[in-house]
Chains A and B, each alone.
Chain A
């Protein structure tokens, strides 16, 4: 500001006032636009559970969106046309890659071309063994309709699983309906499940009874402090805290301590206690 335009004390010269007003208008206008973009961004971060990110997608959704430049190179690289680029207006952030297992599952290519194609590291290049991918975790969400749970031998999800006998096993138990047959219960082991979605794709039901969910929805997690007493007991060859070898049993009603079977749950007599009855 030149000395000529210096206003009398306590006043602002008209030129300076005008310049300040223009600047303020611009800042406020652009600021409002920025808040709108930010708010839209936040609302766009909630991914629908059906949408699965490609193998190696880093971190949580927020972290992925900081890295993915939405170029589509992974989509072009996918030989099975599994990956799609989200369009504007979809619930997945526009331009980012995803797939829907029930439509086209991941074929788990050995050379993982989608990860190789990613220029930014939004798909983690340290993933070289597709068996280590964690796109999601399969969950048998509907035992009431799963044919195997009904006592039939469908087994399709198990047979179609690329990590058969590891990611999905068939666990035998007796069928209480017929009392003479077995139930072959499809059981997912999250340690080996890559979330490729072939089980969900192959489920013969009209609506799949087994679904791949994002890991955050599929799995529980104990608190970091949580310890399993029997494992600690085994590790330490004894109780962690000396003197507390066995806590008193605090079950409602009469408890008949199990005899002979070490891991069997206590038997609770339901007639002894009140509560909601159907």
Chain B
């Protein structure tokens, strides 16, 4: 078995090398642009809060839990508000308005764009995943089902209700990270470190893709959101599996990428897709692109690639 595996792997490697040689050259920017853009946005969010204390230009005050931008735009995390409701508090208008603005944005644009583009824990778990690969830690480790996060979401609302306090804020590494950076409350970083170590040694992509209730919440919020990734060029897919390897939620890809025969839309409609765009970055045959959920158009495969992929098995 192992010998066969090895030989088939060699064959595949040879095929991929042949394939790549025929493809147009894609530079560093093409292969990393959404990753770079995401890191810029994530850093930019911190910069909005830090410009006041560091260079004296106040842009946003507070933290990601609740903030005030330019003294006029209130933004509040709707999940924290929901917990406050469960705990028995009726928040005042400003917080509710801020929560509605945030909910409307992610509900219309993309729920889990919060995870990929804003959340400060995303680079942490990405780093854990990268380190994992570098260390050659092949075992997936503890893999709870992706739905577990929904149970955790229910749990934090139940605990908020039972204890009468905003329960998840005791643990939430996102707000701990913000308070550490903006207010110097650095001890909270132990929760961030715990998530890093958990993802590195205990569970591959464990936190963001399986357990985090905030991601679960934003996923639900964006179930019908418009910004989507479409496998519009799926006809040109050569089954190299690069997108599956890079995707934090690989289960969302297959219905769109491989659903042509079943008549499924090329648009990735799964609410767990974080619209991080890494599949667009890594795909050497330009299968994926950003679009809106109603755009089911497809691009025909380039002739050369199609003939090349004939007989290729995934």
A38–B164 touching, CB < 8 Å: no
- What number of A-B contacts does a CB cutoff of 8 Å give? 163
A87–B92 touching, CB < 8 Å: no
A94–B176 touching, CB < 8 Å: yes
List residues of chain B with CB within 8 A of the CB of A44: 170
User: Which residue in B77, B156, B188 is a CB contact (below 8 Å) of A88?
Assistant: B188
Q: Judge if B254 is at the interface, Cβ distance under 8 Å.
A: no
A125–B92 touching, CB < 8 Å: yes
The number of residues on chain A lying at the interface, defined by a beta carbon within 8 Å of a beta carbon of chain B, is 44
Which among A31, A87, A117 has the highest number of chain B CB atoms within 10 Å?
A: A87
A72–B62 touching, CB < 8 Å: yes
B-side interface size class: 35 or more
CB closest residue in chain B, given A90: B187
A22–B145 touching, CB < 8 Å: yes
List residues of chain B with CB within 8 A of the CB of A73: 61-62, 66-68
Assembled-state Cα–Cα distance A42/B159 (Å): 11
B152–A66 touching, CB < 8 Å: no
B62–A76 touching, CB < 8 Å: yes
A38–B163 touching, CB < 8 Å: yes
B151–A71 touching, CB < 8 Å: no
Q: Chain A's nearest CB lies how many Å from the CB of B103? A: 15
Q: Judge if B166 is at the interface, Cβ distance under 8 Å.
A: yes
Q: Judge if A37 is at the interface, Cβ distance under 8 Å.
A: yes
A26–B155 touching, CB < 8 Å: no
A69–B76 touching, CB < 8 Å: yes
Q: Judge if A89 is at the interface, Cβ distance under 8 Å.
A: yes
Assembled-state Cα–Cα distance A71/B76 (Å): 9
Contact A37 to B159, CB < 8 A, known contacts A29-B144, A69-B80, A120-B91? yes
Q: Judge if B165 is at the interface, Cβ distance under 8 Å.
A: yes
Q: Judge if B175 is at the interface, Cβ distance under 8 Å.
A: yes
Interface readout for A3-44 with B: 1 if CB under 8 Å, 0 if not? 000000000000000000010001101110110011011101
User: Which residue in A41, A87, A120 is a CB contact (below 8 Å) of B159?
Assistant: A41
B92–A71 touching, CB < 8 Å: no
List residues of chain B with CB within 8 A of the CB of A37: 155-156, 159, 167-168, 170-171
Q: Judge if A269 is at the interface, Cβ distance under 8 Å.
A: no
List residues of chain A with CB within 8 A of the CB of B152: 30, 33
Assembled-state Cα–Cα distance A33/B159 (Å): 10
B95–A38 touching, CB < 8 Å: no
Q: Judge if A65 is at the interface, Cβ distance under 8 Å.
A: yes
CB closest residue in chain B, given A42: B163
List residues of chain A with CB within 8 A of the CB of B67: 71, 73
Contact A69 to B169, CB < 8 A, known contacts A94-B176, A120-B92? yes
Interface readout for A37-63 with B: 1 if CB under 8 Å, 0 if not? 110111011000000000000000011
Q: Judge if A93 is at the interface, Cβ distance under 8 Å.
A: yes
List residues of chain A with CB within 8 A of the CB of B166: 65-66, 68-70
Q: Judge if A151 is at the interface, Cβ distance under 8 Å.
A: no
Assembled-state Cα–Cα distance A85/B65 (Å): 13
Q: Judge if A75 is at the interface, Cβ distance under 8 Å.
A: yes
Contact A71 to B65, CB < 8 A, known contacts A88-B176, A119-B92? yes
User: Which residue in A22, A69, A85, A122 is a CB contact (below 8 Å) of B81?
Assistant: A69
- Across the A-B interface, give the 4 residue pairs with the lowest CB-CB distance, nearest first: A66-B87, A71-B66, A121-B92, A65-B165
- Chain B residues in contact with chain A, CB under 8 A? 52, 61-63, 65-68, 74, 76-77, 80-81, 84, 87-92, 94-95, 98, 144-145, 147-148, 151-152, 154-156, 158-160, 162-171, 175-176, 179, 182-183, 185-188, 190-191
